[in-house]
Amino acid sequence: MRITILGSGTSCGVPQVGCPCEVCTSTDPKDKRLRCSSLLEVNGKRILIDCGPDFRQQMLGIDFKPLDAVLITHEHYDHVGGLDDLRPYSIFGDVDVYAEKFCADHLMERIPYCFTPKEKRYPGVPAINLIEIEPHVPIVIRDTEKELMSPRYLEEPVKQKRQQVLDALKAEKEARVEGEHGDVTIMPIRVMHGRLPIVGFRVENFAYITDMKTIPESELSYLQGVEYMIVNGLRHHEHPSHQTIDEAIAFSRRLGVKETWLVHMSHNIKKHQEEEKLLPSGIHLAYDGEVIELL
């Protein structure tokens, strides 16, 4: 399993526009934080978690391949503002986006053209399947043959690139040994973003949780056995709807997680190198572009 941290910042990003603090003016690339999102690669699948307004910029440095699923934690703009930018990935077939009903309803109201049914879709809009999910009901991502976007809508360089990607993926699949390819089961978990119910996700022994302030006691059983976790830690002083860094550390310790990476940080912490030294063993500050390889 491989996780790429596409963005580790809070809703304003870091640097925050107009702020002259030492973090916002730092020259360390690890202090530059785009909005929170990660790319999970497991069993030959590529799964995007959240699709914020920095998505296009985040993906320019990532190999262009199909996305097997997009998981949405909640409907706030910093987590969904890039859905329109899924358009390039539509050339490989409709992109499956998974969200709770409350979140899906909000998305349909805000950007309805992104979810136009195939029979009414016009060229140029994203080809997205919006699939409703519920906490505790597993999502299974399978190998499926998708209908490719018609070549008549593609410029010649894009058609050539698509074919190159498809040929490479076919070769990769044929070269994989048994166990390196197959279904991926994802468990949505209920967490609370202040008073707003949102979801985190568990995949095997890994959990991804962002924007959490609290978690119902009844949810903890769904996190038993998690060894690796990405979780939000906004800053050191209290916030009404986000965990502080100390709260995130305490949550990790309560679960007995081996290694935890903090995300969704604001500029109200020390510079990355200084803050990292203050963290206990097994707790890390994630940074944009970080690649985490899990066994």
pLDDT tens-digit profile of 24-61?
Answer: 999 999 999 999 999 999 999 999 999 999 999 999 99
Positive or negative torsion for Cα 52, 56, 58, 59: positive
Both structure tokens of 20 = 């002259």
In which order are the strands placed within the sheet that holds 45-49?
A: 128-133, 95-100, 69-71, 45-49, 37-42, 2-7, 291-293
Residue-range domain boundaries for the chain:
2-293
The pLDDT of residue 181 is 74
- Pairwise CA distance, residues 150 & 132, whole Å: 27
How many whole angstroms separate alpha carbon 189 and alpha carbon 211? Answer: 13
Instruction: State the chain's mean pLDDT as an integer.
Output: 95
Q: Contact 242/214 with Cβ under 8 angstroms?
A: no
Percentage of residues of the chain with pLDDT beyond 90: 91
Q: What pLDDT score was predicted for residue 153?
A: 86
Which pLDDT band holds residue 202 (cuts at 50, 70, 90)?
Answer: very high
The fold of 2-293 is Metallo-beta-lactamase; Chain A (3.60.15)
Three-state DSSP at 92 gives: helix
pTM (2 d.p.): 0.96
Look-up of token digits 């409709």:
94
- pLDDT attached to residue 27: 98
